[in-house]
Chains A and B, each alone.
Chain A
């Protein structure tokens, strides 16, 4: 049944491409034993397949933010946060070990480094802001390979 179906779709589309290139019609009706395909050509609709069989799908999976693997970078110290001289921006790609910023604590600077490869999703701290233990400073979306590696 599936083979028959795929063969019908292939044949119908081939017919359509061949016919449409030679004529200026705006509507096509292709009818088979178990299926009907209706195509309208207009200014708004260059080609409008009314049925897209799953076997030919080209949809790319894009996860919602909530489904992303997000690493929250929290402060381990109580102190004053300092961004790098070249401040990170949302969307920056970062690697494991990349310096994200520092926390000044008892006049010492404690460096904050990324534990993962990924992309800066959110910056939740301002320069010279007082931070306490556990405050989320950055959100990093982990690289997908990391996620798959973790899962596997």
Chain B
């Protein structure tokens, strides 16, 4: 491999996941942490650890100067950005390249193209069907005309958006007048880019995404899909693979399109092509690409047996993909529940506090990826994700049964969590029949 020591520019469960992969690959690890994370598990697990700033992410996990300097000073020769923070920041990837640090992800150029949602749509226009919509719009009058042509409801989205932020459903022309400047301001605040575009809004689509892996030798494969339809405020809560609504033929067809899209931009590393799937007329539309490892990557690992993070690191180190498309075999069914520190009875508002006690579930077909430790403080500065609970079964029923059993075993005292919501969801008829769309929560729990 072209590097020996990896700096992990992240925190929480994903930092631990990456450290574990590095250890299995016999790579040395360097952790970085904010003052609030001094006692975190990822700090203890890495061979070296450096404080890079105060609790505020803008001054620590987004502090490019201190992260790069830590890498240089510690002798790291690669940086793994994880997800969130700097993972999809082309400037960061570019600076890594300038300082001869291998950025474990695609090139800055590819992140630039695919990270700009509107530009990605334009790039892939002739390869993947896209949700009818507009190019980037500068002004409201243009938006008025296009929204009229698309027909309401429409979605207004930030060109640089992602993670469910910077998007709104617009039901009528008056709402467009009111919300356009608000979404523009939100986009500017969240992404430093005020540009928006419009899309036709699909009422109850499924969110289906395809996992991609590519190396530097032109080999690109897909590892099947994940169904991430259970979302709140456009942020995923439950993911599973395979999806109940894709036939073998459709899987092959969409998977092949996902690979073509990746090939179009010479994609390397791990990435995800997201699609919306219209269940009524079995149509699918390219939504966006995420140029990083996803939170929900474990469900793919469970059904394919392929360690995505290790493969991502290996190909970044210049090695060839270990697997061809024919090697990818889907076995059984896997579900992931995100265990967030949120109060599901209070509109999923974040719940911060000290973890007094916790007890992890186990047994057959259960995996837990977490940074939990007794006594740690769940800081409101960061993502509310405490743990990812993943189940595997011979079929979907067994995966659900195991997940329900594990959710009941999982004990977290000190903060509110979404565990009760997951138990209700997994027992709900809409979930059991597998046809739930992205409006599952509104439809299932509207009372």
Contact = CB atoms under 8 A, between A and B. Distances in A.
Q: Do A and B bind each other?
A: yes
A133 B51 contact: yes
B98 to A, nearest CB: 10
Interface size for chain A: under 10, 10 to 19, 20 to 34, or 35 or more residues?
10 to 19
Contact of A105 (B35, B54, B65): B65
B105 interface: no
A8 interface: no
B69 A105 contact: yes
B99 interface: yes
Interface string B31-73: 0000100000000000000111110000010000110111011
Interface in A57-88: 77-80
Nearest to A77: B66
A133 B73 CA distance: 13
B99 A78 contact: no
Nearest to A110: B65
B65 A134 contact: no
A134 B35 contact: yes
A132 B99 contact: no
Contacts of A130: 73
B69 A79 contact: yes
B35 A78 contact: no
Nearest to B60: A133
B62 to A, nearest CB: 13
A77 to B, nearest CB: 6
A134 B65 CA distance: 15
A106 interface: yes
- The prevalent SS among residues of A at the interface is loop
A105 B66 contact: yes
B35 A77 contact: no
Contacts, number: 37
Contacts of B68: 106
A77 B67 CA distance: 9
Contacts of A134: 35, 51
Interface string B148-162: 000000000000000
A133 B54 CA distance: 8
A132 B72 CA distance: 13
Given A78-B70, A80-B73, A130-B73, A106 B53 contact: no
Contacts of B52: 78, 132-133
A77 B51 contact: no
B51 A132 contact: yes
Contacts of B69: 77-79, 105-106
Contacts of A106: 65, 68-69, 72, 99
Contacts of B99: 106
A132 B65 CA distance: 12
Nearest to B99: A106
Nearest to B74: A130
Contacts of B70: 78, 132
Interface in A79-120: 79-80, 105-107
A22 to B, nearest CB: 73
A134 B53 CA distance: 7
A133 to B, nearest CB: 5
Contacts of B35: 133-134
B73 A77 contact: no
A80 to B, nearest CB: 7
Contacts of A107: 72
Nearest to B32: A78
Contacts of A80: 73
A133 B68 CA distance: 13
Contacts of A105: 65-66, 69
Contacts of B53: 133
B50 A77 contact: no
B51 A79 contact: no
Contacts of B51: 78, 132-134
A151 B151 CA distance: 66
Contacts of A77: 65-66, 69
Nearest to A80: B73
A105 B50 CA distance: 14
B38 to A, nearest CB: 9
Nearest to B67: A78
Contacts of B50: 78, 132-133
Nearest to B50: A132
A105 B35 CA distance: 19
A80 B75 CA distance: 13
A79 B60 CA distance: 14
25 contacts: A77-B65, A78-B50, A78-B51, A78-B52, A78-B69, A78-B70, A79-B69, A79-B73, A80-B73, A105-B65, A105-B69, A106-B69, A106-B72, A106-B99, A107-B72, A130-B73, A132-B50, A132-B51, A132-B52, A132-B70, A133-B52, A133-B53, A133-B54, A133-B66, A134-B35
Q: Lowest 4 A-B CB distances belong to which pairs?
A: A105-B69, A132-B50, A78-B66, A78-B70
